[in-house]
Structure 1
């Protein structure tokens, strides 16, 4: 998968964290079509990730210039390869943050916003890129990836065809925005909010 070769339905499922049949349904729902019995990364970037893969090399140079002190970004030699890491669902994302999924889910339902992007693929499926989560967790950075230019139309879903989503839908777009200019303490509150306050009872 890290070689950049087109993916079979089974390997696409590994990238999405689902089985082969679910991967096939997700691909169809997102307008991702087979080419010679496989899914090319060019189209996976566009239809699944919402980014333009051909622009990632240039974007990495820009990110390194913008964040010269980032050990994570500085250690990336191939941004495409870094983003090909299998994605995670809500519980996996919470685990990367060191939180219990139920705790984080309650905070999201109360209005806490996740700063990094969520890939909402429908069919009860919301995914997160580990690189996005780890960059925020360790360095409080958000990377601005190039938006997809050539996107194939998606099939029109019929009313009631799509099942209800399992995870609460954070109010964030699939493409990350530039790092917000706010103190680290305020950025922590954006995701953890009141949960980070001390539970010490007032004196008296």
Structure 2
């Protein structure tokens, strides 16, 4: 029947959305297929028909979440804006992605507990991250060629560093709010944190200004 493909897509979309919330809240071990099925409005049999097992459903949630996290980022045109503005835009795009849906960090935490065993079963690492790192490499190499950035910057290490400056503030925002007595979850605080991250990363990459010439004594 003509309606079936659309119905199937809607069912899978609903199941993934509900399952994601349960995996975020309860982890892989704690999430229950019968509860997910009841809340999604579909039978357990239908979930197993589409996904086969709870682990396979978790893998599908993980893959969809990574795609939603990485894919919406806009491509930065280095040749048009220059390496400094391109690097600033790259950092802000990453920050915007994580702030759109901070629960991705809960999934990353769960997956790290499993030593990325389930992430290895997806295609997202090979599909999404090489282009992301290639873009950062393009920015770094353009900056080095123009003498704006210092030589020897590794884009993989740079990605880890710039991500940590933003991810930590988002993933630990509630505990940081208590320990620092600051409104870390608030938009104004996170706006400032993003700008701090931009300043630190760009400052690290920039070539130091030449030392002033010594004046004769």
What TM-score does the superposition give when structure 1 sets the normalisation length?
0.28
Q: Which has the higher contact order (CA 8 A, sep 6+)?
A: 1
More helix by share: 2
Structure of larger gyration radius: 2
